[in-house]
Amino acid sequence: MSISTFALQTNFNVKNAMANSTLPDLMRVRKEIVRDCMSDFENEEHRLENVLRINGVQYINDAKAVNTNATFYALDSVEKVIVWIVGGVDKGNDFESLLPLVNEKVKAIICLGENNHRLIETFGSTVDFMIETTDMSEAVKIAYKLSDAGEVVLLSPGCASYDLFENFEDKGKQFKQAVRKL
């Protein structure tokens, strides 16, 4: 089965598909059934969810990424230059593990949270633009101004969301609402 036939073609989903493709062999499930499932799979809300493309910029909601491991896969899956919206309640996350991907892919970071000290300390010298805010609408407007056609604005907090939001769902819904108002 060609990867081009997958409904979701991110590295994260390709790896999941590879892992999941071995189970049907063991259980003797026909390959056609697996192929049909992979070609019309729908991603869950708030996990690498494509929201809109505006002026050639893709906006992706990954609000469910509340730790650096999930954010690693989000950053890794994007093949374009990224304006990254990150932040929230840091529960001792290993931000340093994201440095290689940030160096390679991220041109600007928008810190969305009440305490961004560790984010600024970790990534401040890595990107040309780093801006702090405590308002989702403002974060999206800043990302709009910093991004160019062919790039991606990625909300992937890498932190818990309860400093400014009820939960990650609330954060993701506010992101989508702000994007739709651009």
pLDDT, tens digit (0-9, with 9 covering 90-100), for 82-131:
999 999 998 889 999 999 999 999 999 999 999 999 999 999 999 999 99
Q: Could you please state the CATH topology (level 3) that the domain comprising 49-180 is classified under.
A: Protein-Tyrosine Phosphatase; Chain A (3.90.190)
Closest CA to 177 of 43, 44, 61, 48: 61
**CA-CA-CA-CA torsion for 157, 161, 166, 171, nearest 10 degrees?**
-10
CA distance 109 to 85: 6
Query: For each of the chain's 182 residues, which pLDDT tens digit applies?
Result: 555 555 555 565 566 656 555 655 555 666 665 666 555 545 678 789 999 999 999 999 999 999 999 999 999 999 999 999 999 998 889 999 999 999 999 999 999 999 999 999 999 999 999 999 999 999 999 999 999 999 999 999 999 999 999 999 999 999 999 999 99
Query: Which residues make up the CATH 3.90.190.20 domain(s) of the chain?
Result: 49-180
CA distance 95 to 98: 6
Determine the pLDDT at residue 38: 54
The whole-model pTM stands at 0.81
- How crowded is residue 66: how many other Cβ atoms within 10 Å of its Cβ? 24
